[in-house]
Structure 1
Amino acid sequence: MRYARLLLVAGVVLLSAACSTQIGYRFADTFVEWELNEFVDLNDAQQQQVDLAITELHHWHATNELPFYAQQLQILRDKIATQSLTEADIAETYNIAFTAWQRMLTGIEPYALTLLPNLTEAQVAQIEAELAKRLAEEREELAEAKTSEERQAQLRKRARKNAQSWLRRATPVQERLLNQWSDERLPTRELWLDYTAQWHSRFVQALNERRNLKQFPTLLNQLFFNSDMLYSKELAERVEHNRELTMALMYNLYQSLNNKQRQRVVAKLDEYIEDFNELAMLFEERGLG
């Protein structure tokens, strides 16, 4: 599904915001255009419209969303520093992130409704072919995947690496928490690919109705905001299980922090807060020019 959303004109700008470096974020619009060109060949008029849309979305996100991210990280940072973070705070952070994602989609939707109807039949066919190609590649990669034991070891390794970037060196207790998380986490990749295939199919169906002024907005809105209706029962259950498991891990890791680790986490959050605020100021001063 992430590939289809790139076609909705600049989704990757929004997706990349929370984890990119300053340099990466500044040039995210260029990365979006490169990726978009992998899906469809635009004519000059379409390219100009897309360029303007990406620029406007990038500026909106930098000046409106990044300050919000900085504010929420500041709240999180202060609670970690004062050792007052609760399990409810962890759940609220997830809800805030989900709401921010919904707000991003709301920002993208008007551009999609304006630009997608201008696609030609040949361009829609090109998009459909590229989506099918990428999904087939992912299925082939899954078929060639390692054994479950090897995948489990790989998951543990990735979890330790992510933790080390925040904690530097995990304690034995933290190692056990990470291993328990990886052991209890349910695999979802195959189910996600099945879901993605359905999303792609519905997206192409929507594109085929792109000039139907009554039906197209409804179809697109459903794909934007109610895509979980395409989840299988098993996928929905596994996603919820893994979400709760991850939130529990985050809280347990927080509780296990020693003083040095806590200081490191706070310092790292300070860096993100500073980056987001500086980027917001930069884009505000630069404007849309």
Structure 2
Amino acid sequence: MYACLPKYLRTLLLLVLPALLVLACSRIDLAYRNLDMLVPWSLNDYLNMNRQQKTWLNQRLKQHLAWHCRTQLPGYLTWIDEVRQMVADNQVTDQQLQLRTQEAKQAIAKVADQITPSAAQLLRAMDDEQVHEMRQAFAEDISERQAKYVKTPLARQIEQRAERMEKRLTPWLGELSSQQRLRIMTWSQGLGEQNRQWIANRANWQAHFSAAMDQRHTDAFEPQLVRLLKNRESLWTPEYRQAYQRTEKAARQLLVDLMAQSSEQQRTHLEQKLDQVRKDFSELKCMKG
């Protein structure tokens, strides 16, 4: 259910349109039914749930999805309109991107608030064997990411990062110019070895989560879960905190520069894509209900 999200956490749409993460899936209506991809973590990636737990989760997700569509999605439509207007007015500036990003973070925090009690109830029901399997999955996750993103020579990391960004941007802007591709490579080079800091911070979060699971049958568990899901920044390593600030600033500047270099055809293409996204959301059955 969560397979769409990781690819788009580091894309243009996370930086500008986090509410549209579902576009990584092939069909927006099918994707939206899986509310857990709107949450900043994934149950399915690490927890081996039994049939009863899966049934309970699916029912609870339906309730959260109904809440989300009724109370949150209308605001997303307004937000999409604001982003489209930025493009139409050629006002994709650092200030505007900071504002849109902050709005997106607030929207994600509201989802975290809503789902935390359900997550706590589900996690409390995990037995010791499931928690052990979760820890093994965490270790495998870090090992695989280190092999893929850290142990690769730095020059290749930079090249792959630029390739991934080009691949994510092309559906939204159309074919990129040589000038835009050069700017993307410069951006990637500037990030250096950020992969190492990102994965170390991920391992740190997983360690805190594992420790919290040892207290899942106590009153201290849910407050810890709130911190883990909603206040993740409070658990960042000092190195990652600095790297994140640099990375977010570099990403905004990249988008500002790419839009400044964009052709009229690219901007029209982007506006049409945004129009289609808005249409897809507005036509969801839950919106019409």
Mark yes or no: TM-score above 0.5.
Answer: yes
Task: Output the CA distance in 2 between the equivalents of 1:70 and 1:76.
Answer: 10
Taking only the aligned residue pairs, the percentage that are identical comes to: 19
Q: Name the CA shift for 1:43/1:25 in 2 (closer, same or farther; >3 Å).
A: closer
Contact 1:124 1:207 (8 Å CA) reproduced: yes
Q: Name the CA shift for 1:28/1:226 in 2 (closer, same or farther; >3 Å).
A: closer
Task: Output the CA distance in 2 between the equivalents of 1:39 and 1:67.
Answer: 32
Contact 2:35 2:64 (8 Å CA) reproduced: no
Mean Cα deviation higher: 172-181 or 244-253: 172-181
- Summarize the alignment of residues 45-64 of structure 1 with structure 2, pairs less than 5 Å apart: 46-64=53-71
Structure showing greater radius of gyration is 1
Task: Output the CA distance in 2 between the equivalents of 1:37 and 1:176.
Answer: 35
Q: Name the CA shift for 1:134/1:177 in 2 (closer, same or farther; >3 Å).
A: closer
Q: Name the CA shift for 1:52/1:184 in 2 (closer, same or farther; >3 Å).
A: same
Which residue is 1:162 aligned to? 168
Which residue is 2:126 aligned to? 119
Which residue is 1:81 aligned to? 88
Q: Report deviation, 1:23.
A: 4.6
* Bigger fraction of residues in helix: 1
Which residue is 2:235 aligned to? 230
Q: Name the CA shift for 1:106/1:186 in 2 (closer, same or farther; >3 Å).
A: farther
Task: Output the CA distance in 2 between the equivalents of 1:270 and 1:190.
Answer: 38
Q: Report deviation, 1:31.
A: 8.9
Q: Report deviation, 1:18.
A: 5.9
Structure 2 unmatched runs, 5+? 7-18
Are positions 1:204 and 2:207 aligned together? no
Contact 2:183 2:258 (8 Å CA) reproduced: yes
Which residue is 1:253 aligned to? 258
Q: Name the CA shift for 1:139/1:85 in 2 (closer, same or farther; >3 Å).
A: closer
Are positions 1:39 and 2:42 aligned together? no
Q: Name the CA shift for 1:41/1:164 in 2 (closer, same or farther; >3 Å).
A: closer
> Residues 170-211 of structure 1, C-alpha deviation per residue, up to 9 Å, x if partnerless?
234323322221221233222222222222221122111111
Task: Output the CA distance in 2 between the equivalents of 1:16 and 1:161.
Answer: 15
Task: Output the CA distance in 2 between the equivalents of 1:74 and 1:252.
Answer: 21
Task: Output the CA distance in 2 between the equivalents of 1:111 and 1:93.
Answer: 28
Q: Name the CA shift for 1:139/1:152 in 2 (closer, same or farther; >3 Å).
A: closer
Q: Cα RMSD between the aligned structures?
A: 3.1
Q: Report deviation, 1:264.
A: 1.0
Which residue is 1:10 aligned to? none
Which of residues 25, 50, 72 is equivalent to 2:79?
72
Q: Report deviation, 1:89.
A: 1.0
Mean Cα deviation higher: 196-205 or 77-86: 77-86
Bigger relative contact order, structure 1 or 2, given CA contacts below 8 A and separation 6+? 1
Which residue is 2:183 aligned to? 177
Q: Report deviation, 1:118.
A: 2.1
Q: Name the CA shift for 1:198/1:105 in 2 (closer, same or farther; >3 Å).
A: same
Task: Output the CA distance in 2 between the equivalents of 1:169 and 1:38.
Answer: 37
> Residues 88-119 of structure 1, C-alpha deviation per residue, up to 9 Å, x if partnerless?
11111111111111112112111112222222
Aligned length: 271
Q: Name the CA shift for 1:148/1:216 in 2 (closer, same or farther; >3 Å).
A: same
Q: Report deviation, 1:24.
A: 4.1
